[in-house]
């Protein structure tokens, strides 16, 4: 299959390259031919005009020569014309022949020049186009699954080398993007497979059991409901994550302190239900450029994590402020904290410290990955300080907006 497709492409390639090569060669030789024709033509014209307009024999300096020569050249045979007239005819004949020869030579030379320039043009065009041929043949060989290849043109640092290098850089970026996309899809499908397996096994087993009673079906239905809830939470977060992977979301100058205070208010009830004290200390006028919905999501994810890991009687503290360049928002909990290894993994997609209970609560394992993604999409970052047994502090840093 592949060789066939390849040869088809090759024919197309040579045809295309051939046509541009022909055009270049023709253009080159026509230009050269035109120039040469103009030069040769004008030489010929000016020469012929010079020769016919002013016959040498009428020049006063040579008329003596004609008179002197007259007796010697007297023809007894009897040419009735005077000697001057015959000399002029001779001179005209000489001029005509010289012009004839000049014309023949010129035409031959111009024709030869045309053919020669065609050959040189063809050769030079081929030489110039060869790297382009290489670039396009490599580009063709690179399919979406093998983006690891590069053109690596080499040679002198010219326009084509520049083009090939640009192309290589683009391939590098595409490679990274495709690879991360592929990994994400793979991870997402693994995550969806588990609840699907639960669903399928429960339905298969209860449907195949002729003795199953209402309670069995009810139990299977409950399990199916849980699996479905897990899948929809996962799909929601996957969509959210995919959405924020694009960088074209809404951007406007916003006051982050408003977002922080409003989000804290949203979580007030949840915190007091869990017996967790929610404190905050938020400076005013924290201007950043960003998407208020996304920022709210960041804070909500951090806050729900903090409240979840806190024991009843614990405390979650939210602070926000700014320095000369950055606005920061910080969520501090006095939960169990994270070991240094877990601190590295905590922002990874689908990482859950407590898989089983996370699943029951319908958590996708994408929360902190989304936080980091949004922070980075806003030109900021998220940092984590954590000590086992003391608690964790997550801080979001965003570039401060300065109205100019």
- What is the closest distance, in whole angstroms, from the C-beta atom of residue 290 to another protein in the complex? 36
- What is the closest distance, in whole angstroms, from the C-beta atom of residue 348 to another protein in the complex? 14
Residue positions counted in the chain: 404
Closer CB to another protein, 193 or 250, in the complex: 193
**Closest among 282, 284, 281, 275 to 307, alpha carbons compared:** 275
Binding positions for another protein, 223-262, rule CB under 8 A: 223, 226-227
Segment interacting with another protein, rule: CB under 8 A, options 152-160, 194-202, 237-245, 391-399? 194-202
- What is the closest distance, in whole angstroms, from the C-beta atom of residue 24 to another protein in the complex? 49
Closer CB to another protein, 130 or 183, in the complex: 183
- What is the closest distance, in whole angstroms, from the C-beta atom of residue 255 to another protein in the complex? 42
Segment interacting with another protein, rule: CB under 8 A, options 34-42, 199-207, 250-258, 282-290? 199-207
Q: Do 158 and 131 form a contact (C-beta atoms < 8 A)?
A: no
Interface residue with another protein among 173, 200, 250, 345 (CB under 8 A) is 200
- What is the closest distance, in whole angstroms, from the C-beta atom of residue 377 to another protein in the complex? 29
**Is 205 one of the binding residues for another protein (CB under 8 A)?**
yes
Binding positions for another protein, 174-193, rule CB under 8 A: 186, 189-191, 193
Interface residue with another protein among 201, 269, 273, 388 (CB under 8 A) is 201
What is the SS3 string spanning the chain? CHHHHHHHHHHHHHHHHHHHHHHHHHHHHHHHHHHHHHHHHHHHHHHHHHHHHCCHHHCHHHHHHHHHHHHHCCCCCCCCCCHHHHHHHHHHHHHHHHHHHHHHHHHHHHHHHHHHHHHHHHHHHHHHHHHHHHHHHHHHHCCCCCCCCCCCCCCCCCHHHHHHHHHHHHHHHHHHHHHHHHHHHHHHHHHHHHHHHHHHHHHHHHHHCCCCCHHHHHHHHHHHHHHHHHHHHHHHHHHHHHHHHCCCCCCEEEEHHHHHHHHHHHHHHHHHHCCCEEEEEECCCCEEEECHHHHHHHHHHHHHHHHHHCCCCCEEEEEEEECCCEEEEEEEECCCCCCHHHHHHCCCCCCCCCHHHHHHCCCCCCHHHHHHHHHHHCCCEEEEEEECCCEEEEEEEEEECCCC
**Is 298 one of the binding residues for another protein (CB under 8 A)?**
no
Interface residue with another protein among 2, 208, 247, 402 (CB under 8 A) is 208
**Is 348 one of the binding residues for another protein (CB under 8 A)?**
no
What's the CA gap between 75 and 80, in Å, rounded? 9
- What is the closest distance, in whole angstroms, from the C-beta atom of residue 147 to another protein in the complex? 19
**Is 197 one of the binding residues for another protein (CB under 8 A)?**
yes
Q: Do 251 and 398 form a contact (C-beta atoms < 8 A)?
A: no
Closer CB to another protein, 135 or 223, in the complex: 223
Segment interacting with another protein, rule: CB under 8 A, options 76-84, 219-227, 363-371, 385-393? 219-227
**Is 199 one of the binding residues for another protein (CB under 8 A)?**
yes
* Residues near another protein (CB under 8 A), total: 26
- What is the closest distance, in whole angstroms, from the C-beta atom of residue 366 to another protein in the complex? 16
**Is 5 one of the binding residues for another protein (CB under 8 A)?**
no
Burial class (CB in 10 A: 0-12, 13-18, 19+), 302: buried
- What is the closest distance, in whole angstroms, from the C-beta atom of residue 226 to another protein in the complex? 7
**Is 17 one of the binding residues for another protein (CB under 8 A)?**
no
Segment interacting with another protein, rule: CB under 8 A, options 85-93, 150-158, 202-210, 264-272? 202-210
Q: What tokens were used for 175?
A: 């490679």
Interface residue with another protein among 21, 244, 308, 359 (CB under 8 A) is 359
- What is the closest distance, in whole angstroms, from the C-beta atom of residue 230 to another protein in the complex? 10
Residues engaged in binding another protein (CB under 8 A): 186, 189-191, 193-194, 196-202, 204-206, 208-209, 220, 223, 226-227, 354-356, 359
């Amino acid at each position: 299959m592949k060789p066939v497709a390849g040869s088809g492409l090759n024919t197309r390639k040579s045809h295309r390259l051939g046509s541009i090569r022909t055009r270049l060669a023709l253009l080159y030789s026509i230009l050269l031919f035109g120039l040469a024709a103009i030069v040769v033509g004008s030489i010929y014209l000016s020469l012929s005009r010079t020769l016919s307009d002013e016959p040498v024999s009428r020049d006063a300096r040579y008329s003596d020569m004609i008179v002197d020569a007259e007796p010697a050249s007297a023809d007894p045979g009897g040419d009735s014309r005077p000697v001057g007239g015959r000399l002029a005819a001779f001179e005209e004949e000489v001029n005509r022949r010289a012009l004839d020869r000049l014309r023949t030579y010129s035409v031959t030379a111009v024709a030869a020049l045309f053919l020669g320039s065609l050959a040189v043009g063809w050769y030079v065009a081929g030489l110039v186009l060869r790297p382009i041929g290489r670039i396009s043949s490599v580009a063709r060989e690179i399919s979406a699954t093998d983006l690891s290849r590069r053109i690596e043109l080499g040679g002198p640092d010219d326009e084509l080398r520049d083009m090939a290098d640009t192309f290589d850089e683009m391939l590098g970026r595409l490679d990274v993007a495709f690879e991360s996309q592929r990994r994400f899809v793979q991870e997402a499908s693994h995550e969806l497979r588990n609840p699907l397996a639960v669903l399928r096994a429960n339905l298969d087993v209860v449907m195949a059991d002729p003795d199953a009673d209402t309670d069995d079906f009810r139990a299977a239905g409950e399990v199916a409901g849980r699996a479905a809830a897990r899948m929809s939470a996962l799909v929601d977060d996957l969509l959210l994550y995919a959405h924020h992977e694009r960088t074209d979301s809404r951007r406007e100058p916003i006051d982050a302190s408003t977002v922080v205070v409003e989000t804290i208010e949203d979580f007030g009830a949840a915190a007091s239900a869990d017996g967790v004290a929610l404190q905050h200390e938020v400076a005013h006028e924290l201007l950043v450029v960003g998407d208020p919905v996304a920022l709210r999501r960041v804070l909500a994810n951090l806050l729900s994590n903090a409240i979840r890991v806190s024991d009843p009687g614990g405390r979650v503290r939210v602070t926000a402020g700014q320095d000369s360049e950055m606005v920061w928002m910080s969520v501090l909990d006095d939960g169990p904290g994270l070991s240094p290894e877990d601190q590295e993994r905590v922002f990874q997609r689908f990482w859950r410290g407590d898989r089983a209970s996370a699943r029951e609560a319908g958590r996708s394992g994408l929360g902190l990955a989304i936080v980091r993604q949004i922070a980075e999409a806003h030109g900021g970052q998220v940092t984590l300080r954590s000590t086992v047994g003391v608690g964790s502090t997550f801080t979001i840093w965003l570039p401060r907006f300065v109205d100019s």
